[in-house]
Chain A
Amino acid sequence: MSVAAAPRAAPVPSPAPRLSPWTWVTIFTRMLAVQGSWNYETLIGNGIGFCVEPALRALPGGVHGDAFKAAMVRESTYFNAHPYLAAVAVGALARAELSGVPAERIERFRIALCGPLGSVGDQLVWAGWLPFCSLVSLVAFGLGARPLVVVLTFLALYNAGHLALRAWGLHVGWTRGLGVASALGNPVFRRGPAHVARAAAAAAGFAIPLTAARVVDGSASLLALVLGSLGVVAVLLVRLHGRVEGWKLSLVLIALFALISVAR
């Protein structure tokens, strides 16, 4: 079915406009660079325009047509989302533009989509999947795995989730169009973060002593001292309720230790 003949203003246009496999490959590749021009004013807005652009070429008149230019203006304005879940927006917006949904409706949809795509992605990926994969790889490290195995464990595990999320987002955005919001009610997003958090908590308990043991590589008494001190400092840090950033504290304490080692 041609783009021009697609129904107007339908939440889930049916049947879908057609895009070539090459266009999908281009869109997916561009999705990997969606934050290429991230800035404090339009955030990933320009990136959304950049990703949707290959699909918009199918609009009547091609890249020189008024429909294409008007869509490019709309799609390159302010937008905020988790970079992986931005794929949902890219798929849905491409579908809406090619289906001839009125401009005002697309603009309202864009605004409504920002919040959920940011918060859901942050919880699932940054506060869940990433630390989980990192801790599992540290368990591998602590168990004595070779450097290559440690690195591959992390990259394979993390990117299985990462790439699947982007591909799912693009697919569900495209197939559901403006009705995509319901997809964010998927059990993976509602209950997934809690499951991942529990798995990551267990991995953290496993990983920290094992990692410490491999790094110290010393006597049992030294390791016991390290684990005891580590626990005390960790409790103190928790009681500070985030008033001290961990990496800054580490920088100061390790710098002090280095100074003492050099000066004494």
Chain B
Amino acid sequence: MRELLPISLLGGILGLDVVTFPQSMISRPLVAGTVAGAFVGDATTGVLVGATLELIALATLPFGASRYPEWGSSAVVGGAIAAALHTGRAGALTIGVLAALATAWVSGWSLVKLRQWNAWLARRKRPALDAGARGTVIGLQLAGLTADFVRAALLTAIAYGLLFPVAHATVGVWSFGDHVSRAVVVTISGAVAAAAAWTIFHSARHARWYFAAGLAGGLLLLFAR
């Protein structure tokens, strides 16, 4: 558990990127899972978890005030857990992805709470805002940024601290083989990605033919190798 502090800080930084700063998408699961894996010493496992989660995250469109899972800190938890368990052990990838999804659920809820807290704070500062106080405007912004970082870091610490022992014990009694376990997880995540791609792009003219052409190309490449 020596990795808890760096992992929590990483979760804080990547969780911050989701909405508040700088939204450069370092919080995407593909990035967050890989970096977390590298932190624990196994970027290869991290990128496997990240890619699997990225397929699932394709269905999440962060439109305006909609509620969605927060992938930054959750992918850190999933990538770090799977990497710490090592990819050679059957079930490590599955458990990493499962841990990330469970964390994303709680983390999405915590984002809603943060937004409510931001509104409460702004209401309290209303007189100063109505007087055009620049310090209050800047203060509210900094308070929101700090709270978001603390939220994401704490959530990562709690999730990793609670889930890693459970994950370790689960992998110890895992009964399916590694390839079958990976196959089940990627079937689910790939199906979610394919359905999401259809939902998002099908309204564009000829998009289905572009998808079919890409699919044919991908399959040809696979069978040629």
A and B associate: yes
Chain A residues within CB distance 8 Å of chain B: 32-33, 35-43, 46-47, 49-50, 53, 63, 68-73, 76, 80, 83-84, 118, 122, 126-127, 130-131, 133-135, 137-138, 141-143, 147-148, 150-151, 154-155, 158-159, 162, 193-194, 197-219, 222-223, 225-227, 229-234, 237-238, 242, 245-251, 253-255, 257-258, 261-262, 264
Complex contact B192–A258 (CB within 8 A): no
Q: A122-B63, A201-B204 given as contacts; is B211 within 8 A of A158 (CB)? A: no
Name A254's closest neighbour in chain B (CB-CB). Answer: B98
Can you list 14 A-B pairs, Cβ within 8 angstroms, ordered by A? A40-B116, A41-B122, A69-B131, A131-B196, A134-B30, A201-B197, A201-B211, A209-B219, A218-B179, A246-B192, A247-B57, A247-B192, A261-B94, A261-B174
Complex contact B97–A254 (CB within 8 A): yes
Distance, CA A72 to CA B52, complexed state (A): 45
Q: A37-B144, A197-B200, A216-B183 given as contacts; is B222 within 8 A of A223 (CB)? A: yes
Complex contact B55–A198 (CB within 8 A): no
Measured between C-beta atoms, what is the minimum distance from A77 to chain B in Å?
A: 8
Distance, CA A150 to CA B52, complexed state (A): 13
Distance, CA A223 to CA B192, complexed state (A): 17
B129 at the interface (CB under 8 A from A): yes
Complex contact B132–A68 (CB within 8 A): yes
Complex contact A36–B142 (CB within 8 A): yes
Complex contact B211–A250 (CB within 8 A): no
Q: A198-B201, A198-B206, A230-B190 given as contacts; is B185 within 8 A of A130 (CB)? A: no
Distance, CA A134 to CA B62, complexed state (A): 15
Contact partner of B25 among A39, A130, A264, CB < 8 A? A130
Distance, CA A88 to CA B8, complexed state (A): 35
Contact partner of A261 among B115, B181, B195, B222, CB < 8 A? B181
Chain B residues within CB distance 8 Å of chain A: 19-26, 28, 30-31, 34-35, 37-38, 43-44, 46-48, 51-52, 54-65, 69, 91, 93-95, 97-98, 101-102, 104-105, 115-116, 118-119, 121-123, 129-134, 137-138, 140-145, 148, 170, 173-176, 179-201, 203-208, 210-219, 221-222
Q: With contacts A198-B205, A208-B190 known, what are 17 further pairs, Cβ within 8 A?
A: A36-B141, A50-B137, A83-B23, A126-B63, A127-B200, A147-B43, A151-B30, A201-B207, A204-B214, A205-B210, A205-B211, A210-B218, A212-B190, A214-B51, A219-B179, A222-B179, A249-B192
Secondary structure call for the B interface: helix
Distance, CA A49 to CA B191, complexed state (A): 43
Complex contact A155–B56 (CB within 8 A): no
Complex contact B47–A35 (CB within 8 A): no
Most buried by B among A135, A201, A230: A201
Name B131's closest neighbour in chain A (CB-CB). Answer: A69
Distance, CA A33 to CA B181, complexed state (A): 41
Measured between C-beta atoms, what is the minimum distance from B93 to chain A in Å?
A: 7
Measured between C-beta atoms, what is the minimum distance from A49 to chain B in Å?
A: 5
Most buried by B among A151, A222, A232, A238: A151
Complex contact A238–B138 (CB within 8 A): no
Measured between C-beta atoms, what is the minimum distance from B194 to chain A in Å?
A: 4
Distance, CA A207 to CA B55, complexed state (A): 9
Measured between C-beta atoms, what is the minimum distance from B186 to chain A in Å?
A: 4
